[in-house]
Amino acid sequence: MMNRTLSRARRAGAVTALALSLAMLTGCASSPETSPEVSEARKNLQELKNDANLAGRARVETREAEKAVVLAEESLAASDAELAKHRMYMANQKVEIARAKARTDYLEEQRQRLAEEREAERLANRTDEADRARSEAAELQRRMDARDIAEDEREAERLAQRADEANQARSDKAELQRRIDELQAESTERGIVLTLGDVLFTTGSAELQRGGYENLNRLVAFLEAYPERDALIEGHTDSVGATDSNDRLSKRRADSVQSYLVRSGIDRQRLSTSGKGESQPVATNDTAAGRERNRRVEIIIENPQ
Amino acid sequence: MKNRDGTPLTRAVLLSAVLMAGLLLGACATKPMDPPESLGQARDAIARAEQSDSREYAGSELDAAKQKLEMAETAADEQDMAEAERLAQEALIAAELALARTTAAKAEEVNREMERGAEALTDEMRRKEEQR
């Protein structure tokens, strides 16, 4: 009884072992079964492929992911749940790797674009700066031109003033000339020479005659008008009579004119006198007309120093 | 004696069945008892990811890789080489994902920096414009 029981037990053990080995064999084969998470990996892969920014990038990784997804989609027996889970994990990871690589690629391309944009902006900035510099230069030029105009105006003013001065000088000169003409004098290198004829004096006398006053008064007016001018009064005679007495006479006549002028208000300091006698004739002494011309008083009004 | 131990035929059948089961079990598992190569590859990949600052940019991916590696090592220690191989492959792929995401995050950072720079430039230009 015991033996039989034992033998049955052994037989059962053998059967179990056989059954187990059979189960093992079928375990290596496959039976239809789908995992919902596999379709998740497929969905992610599809999403990556449809992403406008990422599609067509990271081709190698995407192909790897594709293969992994296909592998994970293969049906496995329920007993191979661990393997199915593993394949699913691998597929998901590979899809995510492909996505990350595609994103990196996209970002690097964006960076390139950014760099180009920035360069363009910098260029635009520089162009702006150049424009500004140009307009500043134009402004500066404008100001300089304005200053030039002001300068020109000042110069014109200076010129006008100088012209005025010249005009003034010319009119002064004209005035002088008019007065010289009035004096019936003439301009020479020594100065303005006024010759008073012998009508001023009676023969042999140094007394002034009334008829010469008019000429002398004009001389006074002239000397008053030109206070910076000194006058040299020279007496001259003809050759009649002794030289000594002629010299003295000519000196006295010069002094007489000087006295008159001083009496008329001219500073004596401005008036020097000399008697030249018969030494400087202006005409022949052989004729009466010549001698008359030689008897004279010359007043030389010196040009201002 | 014979009756107690069963017939020699019964014994042979029993023995062969047990042997066959053992063989079949072995056939489904990876054969050698050395740790799988992928374990080393996973370690290398994790090291690369760490060198690329994945701790900062893809911390959870890196953690997952390390966890998988640890599990793979445990499985290898327990001589479950099939499990060790699978887990090592998962650790490797997780480390690769950590690295890929780190690279992408860094690229994004650089681009943001550049955009800020470009904006700063634009702002500066606007300010200059306003000063005029």
DSSP-derived letter for residue A226 is -
Model confidence pLDDT, tens digit, residues A243-289: 888 899 889 989 988 998 999 999 999 999 999 998 989 889 888 88
pLDDT, residue A180, reads 77
What residue type is assigned to position B85 of the chain? E
Bridge partners (DSSP) listed for residue A272: A232
pTM: 0.48
* Beta carbon pairs, A and B, within 8 Å: 106
Chain B touched by A203 (CB under 8 Å) = no
Residue count (chain B): 132
For chain A, percent of residues with pLDDT exceeding 70: 86
Subunit contact B97:A100, Cβ cutoff 8 A: yes
Chain A touched by B94 (CB under 8 Å) = yes
Model confidence pLDDT, tens digit, residues A206-237: 777 777 777 788 888 888 888 888 999 999 88
pLDDT, residue A215, reads 79
For residue A157, give both structure tokens: 């003013």
pLDDT, residue B54, reads 94
End-to-end Cα separation, chain A, in angstroms: 178
Distance CA A100, CA A24 (A): 41
More confident residue, A39 or B90: B90
Rounded to the nearest angstrom, the minimum Cα separation between A96 and chain B is: 7
Whether ipTM > 0.85 holds is no
Nearest to B14 among A13, A96, A117 (CB): A13
SS3 category, A297: strand
Measured from the Cβ of residue A246, the count of other Cβ atoms closer than 10 Å reads: 22
Distance CA A179, CA B67 (A): 130
Nearest chain B residue (CA) to A85: B86
Could you give phi then psi for residue A72, rounded to 5 degrees?
-65, -25
